[in-house]
A = this chain, B = another copy of it.
Amino acid sequence: MPKVSEAYKEEKIRNLVQAAKKVFIKKGYVQTSMQDIMDEAGISRGAMYRYFNNLEHVFLEVLREDDQKDVAFFEVSNDEQIWPQIQRWLEMQQQVIENINQSLLQAKAEFFLTSQQHKDDFSYVSQRYDEITEAIEEVLMLGEQKKEFQLQQSPERISRYMISFLNGLMLDTFQLGMKQTKVQEQLSILCFTLEKLLYKE
C-alpha cells in the first residue's frame, strides 16, 4: 500500500473503472452515486477520491474504456461483396440491441441528455456521430466504386438514415423490450429499404 509502482496505480484505476462500469450498466447515470461505486469496488471514500475528482470524471473514464473496444467498428474486406458484409453488420447490431440491458446505453443517454454542462463534452457525441457517419459512408462509396451499388441517394444521407433508425430502435427497445419493438422484423425492414436505396432495379 505504500510506495508503489506505476503499474499498480494503473491496475487499481482499471479495477475501479470496471466496478464503476458495472454499476452504471445496472443503474444508469442519474441514479448512481459515488457511494454505489465505492461499495461495488469495496473501497473507501478517501481512496476513491484519490483517483477521481467526481462522478462525471469516473463516467468519462468508463466511456473512454468502453469506446476502445469498438474502434475497429466496421472493418470491410475488399475481397468480398460489400452487401453481405453490411448484412452481417446488421446482424451484429441485432445482437447489440438484444443485449441492450447489459450495455451503457441508458447511462450514456442519461448523461448526455441531462446536463447542459455536458454540452461542453458535446464534442464527444458530435464527434462520435460524425465518425460513425463517415465510416458507413465510406463503405457505401466503396460499394459504388466496385459497381456493386447504384446509390439512389447520397451516401451521407443514407448513412445518417441508418444511424437515426438504429438509434431509435435501440432506445425504443430499451424502453419497451424486444417483444414490443420486434427487433428482428424491424431490422429486416431496414434491410429491405436499404436494398432499395443501394440498388437500381
Contacts and interface: CB of A to CB of B under 8 A. Distances in A.
Contact of A181 (B160, B181, B197): B160
Given A110-B113, A168-B164, A168-B169, A157 B181 contact: no
A42 B191 CA distance: 54
Interface of chain A, main secondary structure:
helix
A161 interface: yes
Given A113-B175, A164-B165, 19 more contacts: A30-B110, A109-B109, A110-B110, A110-B113, A110-B114, A129-B180, A152-B192, A153-B192, A160-B182, A160-B185, A160-B186, A163-B168, A163-B172, A164-B181, A166-B168, A171-B171, A192-B196, A193-B196, A196-B196
Interface of A: 28, 30-31, 106, 109-110, 112-116, 122, 125-126, 129-130, 152-153, 157-158, 160-161, 163-169, 171-172, 175-176, 180-182, 185-186, 188-190, 192-193, 196-197
